[in-house]
């Protein structure tokens, strides 16, 4: 059975980590606006490059992001959507282009979010995500090439959390008010969180 899953959560809640696991487990696409924008950060648009917004911790303008999501969902036979919608206007657009089977909010405290983002490292060759405390690679060659995401610097993290509270929390409330939202406690080791998500999706 194909699944159409929306995974919501604050920056650092573990959306990327869990989306990859879910995509592998169910053989569906991982549709992530963050990765798509990072892969095209110097693309010229009428609003400027995605990079200029991302490195400031601001949202990339809706028309750019909406188009990325529309194309990706059209091509997908089942998906887990991560990083979108981030404001009510994107939520409205999403409801016009697809139905959803599950809307899940990964709940993580702000203190934990800041620790996760500060310790996150990325392998520029594979895109694999690690953490200096929770998930450090054994291979020394990999360790040496890990980089910190530009928007994981402390000031930018603070701005991303502010933008999340202002723009994205209303999206969470919107789904909660409609009775569509399932909330999952995201403060546990990744494999435990994954089991909780599977229980929701399969239950």
Residues in binding site for ATP:
12-17, 120, 129-130, 188
The total number of residues shown for the chain amounts to 203
Q: Helices (H) and strands (E) in the chain — how many of each?
A: 10, 7
Of 15, 20, 116, 121, the catalytic one is: 15
Q: Does 23 bind ligand AP5 (CB under 6 A)?
A: no
- For residue 86, indicate whether it is catalytic: yes
Q: What is the contact mask toward ligand AP5 in residues 39 to 78, using x (rule: CB under 6 A)?
A: --------------xx--xxxx----x-------------
Interface residue with ligand AP5 among 5, 15, 93, 197 (CB under 6 A) is 15
Structure tokens at 23: 């995509």
Whether residue 185 contacts residue 196, with contact meaning beta carbons closer than 8 Å, is answered with: yes
Q: Does 102 bind ligand AP5 (CB under 6 A)?
A: no
Distance (Å, whole) CA 27 – CA 127: 19
From residue 95, alpha-carbon distances to 1, 109, 157 in Å are 21, 28, 29
Q: Which is nearer to ligand AP5, 133 or 179 (CB)?
A: 133
Interface residue with ligand AP5 among 160, 172, 175, 197 (CB under 6 A) is 160
The CB-nearest residue to ligand AP5 is 34
- For residue 15, indicate whether it is catalytic: yes
Q: Which is nearer to ligand AP5, 94 or 102 (CB)?
A: 94
Alpha carbon 173 to chain centroid, angstroms: 18
Nearest approach, Cβ of 78 to ligand AP5 (angstroms)?
20
Exposed, middle or buried, 123 (CB in 10 Å: 0-12/13-18/19+)?
middle
Residues facing residue 147 across a β-bridge? 122
Whether residue 30 contacts residue 20, with contact meaning beta carbons closer than 8 Å, is answered with: yes
Of 20, 86, 116, 121, the catalytic one is: 86
From residue 175, alpha-carbon distances to 66, 95, 196 in Å are 19, 11, 20
- For residue 51, indicate whether it is catalytic: no
Q: Does 3 bind ligand AP5 (CB under 6 A)?
A: no
- For residue 20, indicate whether it is catalytic: no
- Residues of span 140-159 touching ligand AP5 by CB under 6 A: 151
Residues marked as catalytic: 15, 86, 120, 149, 160
């Amino acid at each position: 059975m194909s699944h159409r899953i929306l995974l919501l959560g604050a920056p650092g809640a573990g959306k990327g980590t869990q989306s990859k696991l879910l995509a592998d487990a169910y053989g569906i696409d991982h549709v992530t606006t963050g990765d798509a924008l990072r892969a095209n950060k110097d693309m010229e648009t009428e609003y400027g490059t995605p990079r200029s917004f991302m490195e400031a911790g601001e949202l990339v303008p809706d028309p750019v992001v909406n188009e990325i999501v529309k194309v990706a969902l059209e091509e997908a036979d089942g998906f887990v959507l991560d990083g979108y919608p981030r404001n009510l206007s994107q939520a409205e657009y999403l409801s016009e282009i697809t139905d959803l089977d599950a809307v899940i909010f990964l709940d993580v405290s702000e203190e934990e979010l800041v620790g996760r983002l500060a310790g996150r490292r990325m392998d520029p060759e594979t895109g694999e995500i690690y953490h200096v405390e929770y998930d450090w690679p054994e291979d020394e060659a990999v360790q040496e090439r890990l980089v910190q995401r530009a928007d994981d610097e402390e000031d930018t993290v603070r701005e991303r959390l502010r933008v999340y509270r202002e723009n994205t929390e209303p999206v969470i409330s919107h789904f909660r008010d409609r009775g569509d939202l399932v909330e999952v406690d995201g403060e546990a080791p990744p494999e435990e969180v994954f089991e909780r998500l599977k229980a929701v999706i399969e239950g």
